[in-house]
Amino acid sequence: MSEEYFKHESAFVEEGTEIGEGTNIWHLAHVREGVKIGSDCNLGKDVYVGTDVEIGNNVKIQNGVSVYQGVTVGDDVFLGPHMTFTNDVYPRAEGEWDIEETLVEDGVSIGAHATILSGITLGKYSMIGAGAVVTKDVPEHTLVYGNPAVIKGFVCSCGKKLGEKEITYQGEEKVLFECSECGGEVKIDREVYSKKE
């Protein structure tokens, strides 16, 4: 376990963890054994990280978030206050857990109080609106919200919502958008584009 990270005196980090340089673990957080956390992360007050969870670099986990066993978080991810992961589709108080893997890819942002059901992949740079209930995979660069969450638009890797106007077509397979904020280009699969509500 690296000593190049900061841990508040009220936080508890179990033995057998790997925590990267520049990471901060704040008040009353609990990090379980087998956890791997990258560099320059920030774990807010009351964050819980379950056994064997892997978290990438430059991840910001806001107050009250529990990252349960079975969840993998990529780099540059934002987990908003009190958002919720689950890890069993049919949980019961008695019997064995049937943990399903959940993958949060690089650059994803999840709004406050959103709920992510287990067994789901959140694609790169997707954005989950506050209070959303995500029941199925979210494609890259899509903005979803609601209960259940549906595609409401598309977002650039810089976080800016992309305009409604498509710039050009890439054959029949992709729709190309240009970001008005940073000038970046984002290609969206036509099948995904057609699902926007």
Structure tokens at 105: 């890819």
Strand 185-189 to 174-178 pairing: antiparallel
Could you tell me the pTM of the whole model?
0.94
Average pLDDT over residues 175-183: 88
Question: What pLDDT is attached to residue 174?
Answer: 83
Each domain of the chain, given as residue ranges in start order, spans 6-155
Question: Between these two residues, 52 and 90, which has the higher pLDDT value?
Answer: 52
Quick one: CATH architecture of 6-155?
Answer: 3 Solenoid (2.160)
User: Does residue 64 register a pLDDT over 60?
Assistant: yes
15/96: higher pLDDT: 15
pLDDT tops 90 at residue 48: yes
